[in-house]
């Protein structure tokens, strides 16, 4: 019910993806930091479903675009309060994109059925998914400690690029 479609939805979603891919192109051309203000990041969109206020998965499309254009390994760091079930589903069986998410625990937070700590990838993707579900009422210092360890795990993957799937509801 929160993912309504209007007459300009498709054009807006395509524009958002184009913004993210343009930033990725600059990154691959050597710009050390690029910023794409493309909302929403689309992390609830998988290959066969949209929802959660998301229409196209900007982060996943951009990661794939970067892979197609020379990046050997890409990381996606998702810090939205809600788990990025779509992004996880897209890359869960792949070893070329590392996905990590800090989010409210799925026992009590949307999307409820995914984002548990024991979901770490499958097959070639084993170990390339890191879920960090947060306890209820977490305070700033505890959150920052988890974020720091998540960023260290991301750096250990030695990605060519890091995409931040940024939600502002945390």
Rounded CA gap, 163 and 20, in Å?
A: 9
Choose the catalytic residue: 26, 43, 44, 82: 44
Rounded CA gap, 169 and 43, in Å?
A: 14
DSSP H or E segment with residue 104: strand 97-104
**44 in catalytic set:** yes
Closest to 151 in 3D by CA, of 84, 83, 102, 87 = 102
Give the sheet arrangement for strand 161-165, strand by strand: 129-134, 97-104, 74-78, 161-165
- In this structure, what are the phi and psi dihedrals at residue 158, rounded to the nearest 5 degrees? 55, 55
Rounded CA gap, 16 and 52, in Å?
A: 16
| Catalytic center residues | 44
């Amino acid at each position: 019910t929160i993912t309504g479609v209007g007459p300009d939805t498709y054009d807006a979603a395509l524009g958002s993806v184009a913004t993210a891919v343009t930033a990725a192109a600059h990154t691959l051309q050597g710009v050390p930091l690029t910023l794409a203000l493309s909302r929403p990041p689309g992390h609830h969109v998988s290959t066969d479903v949209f929802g959660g206020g998301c229409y196209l998965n900007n982060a996943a499309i951009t990661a794939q675009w970067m892979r197609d254009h020379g990046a050997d390994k890409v990381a996606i760091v998702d810090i939205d309060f809600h788990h990025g079930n779509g992004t996880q589903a897209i890359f869960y069986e792949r070893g070329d994109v590392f996905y990590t998410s800090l989010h409210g625990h799925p026992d009590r937070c949307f999307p409820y059925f995914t984002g548990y700590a024991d979901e770490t990838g499958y097959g070639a993707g084993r170990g390339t998914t890191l879920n960090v579900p947060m306890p209820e009422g977490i305070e700033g210092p505890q959150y920052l400690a988890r974020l720091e360890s998540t960023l260290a795990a991301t750096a250990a993957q030695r990605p060519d690029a890091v995409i931040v799937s940024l939600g502002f509801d945390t």
